[in-house]
Amino acid sequence: MTLPRFLLILVVATFAITTAQAAERLVTVTGEATVAVPPDSAVIRIGVSSLEKTAREAGEANAKQMTAVLTTVKASGIAERDIQTSRLSLQPQYDPNKGGTARLTGFQANNQVTIRIRDIDNLPTVLDRAIAAGANEMSGIEFVVSDQSKLLDQARDEAIADARRKAELYARAAGAKLGQVVSISEEGTAPQPRPMQAVRAGAVPIAPGEQTLRAIVSVSYELTP
């Protein structure tokens, strides 16, 4: 074996041993923190269902009733950009109780819109007025925290502090001191909007509650003598 090749092997072996020893002097911990915050906006899905004898009658009745609902919703302070059609259908209806050939009994028209209510205090008013104007379908409510970034940053700061507290505890127990941070990775994600089932009557109170924003981080620290 030539001298240069021997020196190269020696350097590689020394580096591998040093790397392994460094890995043994690490402590890796998980830090977690949560921030509870009331939602400030909501997304609702409401609509109109119309049943008539002919397709034309069902479509016209549905369009008239839905126009009244949308006019009322806009008059309640909801902008055009916050209203979007999410479902539109026209289906024949048959008599299920007759044997043999099904008998056509009419047509059902459905029109549903998704509405974003940016001021959650306006939610009961919008629902009450929409129902009074003719909305007879509601598929759910989602409560949303509009600006999560600052709140999540607060949770991240607290999660890092929680990780350091745990690492210092382990270091003391091992008779070592906590050194520099080697790596940080984030494991937690922001929550999805919380869905709630539909309420039918305007007199039913709305309870948005709170949403919990969670941050989870994994941090590796050096251990020093």
Is 3.40.50.300 the CATH number for 41-144? no
Q: What is the pLDDT of residue 5?
A: 53
Cα 145 to Cα 160: distance, rounded to the nearest angstrom: 23
The superfamily in CATH containing domain 25-38+147-224 is Protein of unknown function (DUF541), domain 1 (3.30.110.170)
How many Cα atoms occupy the beta-carbon half-sphere of 137 within 13 Å? 19
3-state secondary structure the chain: CCHHHHHHHHHHHHHHHHHHHHHHCEEEEEEEEEEEECCCEEEEEEEEEEEECCHHHHHHHHHHHHHHHHHHHHHCCCCHHHEEEEEEEEEEEEECCCCCCCEEEEEEEEEEEEEEECCHHHHHHHHHHHHHHCCCEEEEEEEECCCCHHHHHHHHHHHHHHHHHHHHHHHHHCCCEEEEEEEEEECCCCCCCEEECCCCCCCCCCCCCCEEEEEEEEEEEEEEC
Q: Does this chain's domain 25-38+147-224 share its CATH topology with 41-144?
A: no
Q: Which residues of the chain have pLDDT under 70?
A: 1-24, 98-100, 188-205
Q: What is the pTM of this model?
A: 0.67
Q: What is the pLDDT of residues 146-157, one digit of tens each?
A: 888 888 999 999
Q: What is the pLDDT of residue 201?
A: 38
Tokens of 102: 């099904």
**CA 75 and chain centroid, separation:** 29
Mean residue pLDDT across the chain: 83
Domain ranges of the chain: 25-38+147-224, 41-144
Q: What is the pLDDT of residue 202?
A: 45
